[in-house]
Structure 1
Amino acid sequence: MESQSETTQTVSALKLPVLKTGDYDLWSMRIEQYLTHTEYAHWEVIVNGDAPAVASATKSTLLLAIPDEQLLKFHGIKDAKTLWEAIKAMFEGNKESKKMQKTILKQQYKNFTPSRTEGLDKTYDRFQKLISQLEIHGEVIS
C-alpha cells in the first residue's frame, strides 16, 4: 500500500497539460484532472471564484498551460475564474464550428485506414483518439 508521501510525489510529478489549438475539450478535461489531483483548492477557485490565498497560484498554473503565442491575450485578466472562462470562450468554439468539427471527425472515421508505415499500436492509438473525439462531440460509435 502506498504511503501518503509516495502518493503526493506521484501526483506532483504529473505533467501540466498544455492547450493545443483544436483540442480544447480534451485539454479542459485534462487540466481539471490535473488541478483536482495536484491541489483541489485550485479547481475550486475556477468553479467558485476568487479565494485570495489560492487564486494567484491557480491563475499562474492556467497561464503556464496556454501556448506562448496566446499568452499575451490572457495575461491582463485579474482572476482565475475569469481566465478560465476567457480560455473557454476563445478555444471551445461556437455551435457552428463544433458541428463542422463533428462532421470532419465522422468523415475521418468513415475513411480511416491503417498506414503502412505505422505499427499496430500506433494505428490503434490513432483510432482510439478518433473515437474519443467523436464521443466528446456526442457521437456514439457502436
Structure 2
Amino acid sequence: MSGSQDEIPPPPSSQTPTQQTPHIVSTIKLHILKKGEYDIWAMKIKHYLAHTDYLIWEVIQNRNGPVSITTDTQGQIKVLPPRTAEEILSRERERKARTTLLMALPEDHLAKFHKMADAKEMWDAIKSRSL
C-alpha cells in the first residue's frame, strides 16, 4: 500500500554498489631459499604455485612453448614479439615463473640466476647449486 506508514524508504546512499563491497587482499609471503633447505623450499614453492597459478608451475617443470626467433642482417638472433593470444599468455607465464623464483632467492644470489634463459633452466640451476 503506497500510503502506509509501515513503508520506510531506504536512506539515500552516496556510494555505488561497487564501492560498498569490501576489497579483500590476500598476500602470501614466499619462503626464501636458505643454504641446506632446498627440499623444504622446493616443496613450499611447488605448493605456492599450485595454489596461485598451476600453469606457472607447469612452465617451470616442462619449459614454455617455443619462442619465435629470427636472424637479423648482422647474424644476431632476435626474439620476435608474440603474435597470438596463446603466445602472449605463454610469455606472461614464463615471466611470472621467473619473477616468482627470483623473489624466492636471497638477494646476494639474484645476479647468478637473473640472466638465465627460462624458468626451467633457473629451477634446475637452483637445484644443482642448492645454495
With the length of structure 1 as denominator, give the TM-score of the two structures.
0.54
1:53 aligns with 2:67: no
Q: Which has the higher strand share?
A: 2
| CA–CA distance in structure 2, aligned partners of residues 18 and 66 of structure 1 | 5
Partner of 2:41: 27
Q: Runs of 5+ in structure 2 lacking a partner?
A: 1-23, 65-89
Deviations 1:14-70 (A, max 9, x none): 211110111011000000001110111110101111132310111011001000111
| CA–CA distance in structure 2, aligned partners of residues 53 and 64 of structure 1 | 16
Q: Which has the higher helix share?
A: 1
Runs (4+) off by over 6 Å: none
Partner of 2:55: 41
Write the mapping of 1:59-78 to structure 2, written as runs, cut at 5 A.
59-78=98-117
| CA–CA distance in structure 1, aligned partners of residues 63 and 117 of structure 2 | 12
- Counterpart residue type for residue 45 of structure 2: I
With the length of structure 2 as denominator, give the TM-score of the two structures.
0.59
Other structure's SS at 1:77 match: coil
Higher relative contact order (CA 8 A, sep 6+): 2
Rg larger in structure: 2
- Counterpart residue type for residue 61 of structure 1: T
Alignment coverage as a number of residue pairs: 83
Shift in Å at residue 86 of structure 1?
0.5
Q: Runs of 5+ in structure 1 lacking a partner?
A: 1-8, 93-142
The percent identity for this pair of structures is: 45
Other structure's SS at 2:93 match: helix
